[in-house]
Structure 1
C-alpha cells in the first residue's frame, strides 16, 4: 500500500455509490475534503441490491484484514424497492428481507473492529416523471410510494443496531424545487443533491461521540504544509476554509 497509513473511509453500495465519484459527486467531494487526512475508498456496484451485497460482504470486508476501515458508509434500498418483475427476476427484495439483509451488513461491519463506525444512507426520493422520460419501460413501476417504506424501515433498524442513519428521503425534499434540481435522470444525483449528502455526512461525523473523531478537521494532517518555510499564502487557513459551506447542513430528520 501507499504510505503513510491513513484512516480508511469506505463507500459501499449500488449506483448511488458507484457514480459518486463523478464530477460534483458526493464521493468525490468527500475525497477532496479528506485529501490530507483519510483515504476514501469506493466500492459501488450499479444495479445491486442488499441481497447481492451479502454475497460479497466477506470479500469486500474480510474480518482478518490487517487494516480495517475506520468508517463505512452504506447505501442500498433503491433497487430493492423496485416492484417485483412478472418473471420473478429483477432487483426487487421484499421489505422484510431487505431489513434483515441490512441488519446482517451492519452487524458484520461493526464486528470488524471496535473502532469501525457505520453510517447507513436511506433510499432518497425520486422524480418519477423524469425516470419515465429517461428510462421508459426499463424502470416501469419504480416509485416514491414503494421506496418510502424502505427508507423508514432502515431508519428504524439504525436505532436497533446502534449505527448512524441519514434520512436522505427527507433531507433531499427539504431542498427548494428538489424534483427539478436533484436528479440527472430521476434517480441519480446532481451536484446539488450530492452537496446535501455531503453536508448530512459531515454533520453526523462531527456530532458523533466517536473516539477518535473522524471529522476531517479533527484528524491529523499528513505531513507539514510548508515545513516551516515562509509563504505568502497560509495553506493551513486555506484548508480550513475552502469547504466551509459544507459545514452548515439543511434541516433533516435523522439519527
Structure 2
C-alpha cells in the first residue's frame, strides 16, 4: 500500500496545492507511489497548531498497511510577526516557538513512531512588499512599517534549525536557500511572504532531496498497481 506524506503548516502549506504549488508538485511526483495529505491552516502559528493537532491528525495513519512515512512541519512565518506591529497578535516568543516545535514533534512521534519529521524553516521576508500587501491592516495604521522583517524571520529560522538538531530530525533551511536565488525578493515571493512559482519550485526540490535521502523516492517506492499494458 502507499505510504503517506503529511504536510502540516500555515498558509504557505495550505496554498501548496494551488497551481504550481510545492504540495501539488509532490502529489504529482509520487503518483501511484505515495499519498500526499494536506493539513495547512492560513494564519496559524505553532501555538494555534498545538490546539488542533490531535483533531487534524486523527485517522490519517489508522491503516497499518499504509503508514505515515514522513511529516513536513512548516511553521514560523506567523510566529515571527513583530509584537509591536499591526499583526502583533500572531507573535509567538522565540522560546515558546521552540518549545511548541518540540511538542509538535513529540506528538507526531507518539502517534506515528516510525514517521520521520522534517522541519522547514520560515521563508525570508521582503519587507517592501509586506508594506504593500499587509494582512489585516487596520485603517488607522499609518506607520508605513512592515508587520514582519527578514531579520526576525532569520532568527526564527535559526531557532527551527536548533530544534531539528535536538530532535535529530532533518531540516530544510528555506530561509537561506531562497536568498541564494538571484533577485529572490521578487522572483521567489509573491507578496513578500508567500511563495511565487519559483519559490514553490525551490521548496519542492528541497523536500524531494530530503525525502530521497530517507529512501522515499519515485525510484525506491513501488507503484501500487501495474501499468495497464500488463493487464491486457
Partner residue, 1:11: 7
Partner residue, 2:198: 192
Separation in 2 of the partners of 1:88 and 1:189?
20
Q: Secondary structure at the match of 1:184?
A: coil
Is the Cα contact below 8 Å between 1:85 and 1:92 reproduced in 2? no
Is the Cα contact below 8 Å between 2:87 and 2:136 reproduced in 1? no
Q: Secondary structure at the match of 1:135?
A: coil
- Supply the RMSD in Å over aligned alpha carbons: 2.3
Match of 1:170 among 163, 173, 176: 176
Partner residue, 2:227: 225
Is the Cα contact below 8 Å between 2:72 and 2:118 reproduced in 1? yes
Shift of 1:141: 3.0
CA offsets 1:146-205 (integer angstroms, 9 cap, x no match):
111110011011010111110001110111111120111111101101111011111111
Separation in 2 of the partners of 1:165 and 1:38?
21
Shift of 1:23: 1.0
Is the Cα contact below 8 Å between 2:128 and 2:146 reproduced in 1? no
Is the Cα contact below 8 Å between 1:131 and 1:185 reproduced in 2? yes
Number of residues of Structure 1 aligned to a counterpart in Structure 2: 222
**Measured at CA, do residues 182 and 29 of structure 1 come closer, stay the same or move farther in structure 2, by a change above 3 Å?**
same
**1:74 corresponds to 2:73:** yes
TM-score normalised by structure 1 residue count? 0.81
1:48-197 correspondence runs (5 A): 48-62=44-58, 66-67=62-63, 68-85=67-84, 90-135=89-134, 138=137, 140-197=146-203
Partner residue, 2:34: 38
Shift of 1:226: 3.0
Shift of 1:18: 0.4
CA offsets 1:38-89 (integer angstroms, 9 cap, x no match):
1111111000000000011111224995235221111110100111157996
* Bigger shift: residues 45-54 or 123-132: 123-132
TM-score normalised by structure 2 residue count? 0.88
Separation in 2 of the partners of 1:136 and 1:74?
23
Q: Secondary structure at the match of 1:70?
A: strand
**Measured at CA, do residues 24 and 150 of structure 1 come closer, stay the same or move farther in structure 2, by a change above 3 Å?**
same
Is the Cα contact below 8 Å between 1:9 and 1:70 reproduced in 2? yes
Q: Secondary structure at the match of 2:217?
A: coil
Separation in 1 of the partners of 2:22 and 2:153?
21
Partner residue, 2:141: none
Q: Secondary structure at the match of 2:152?
A: helix
CA offsets 1:5-58 (integer angstroms, 9 cap, x no match):
421111111001000011111001001001111111111100000000001111
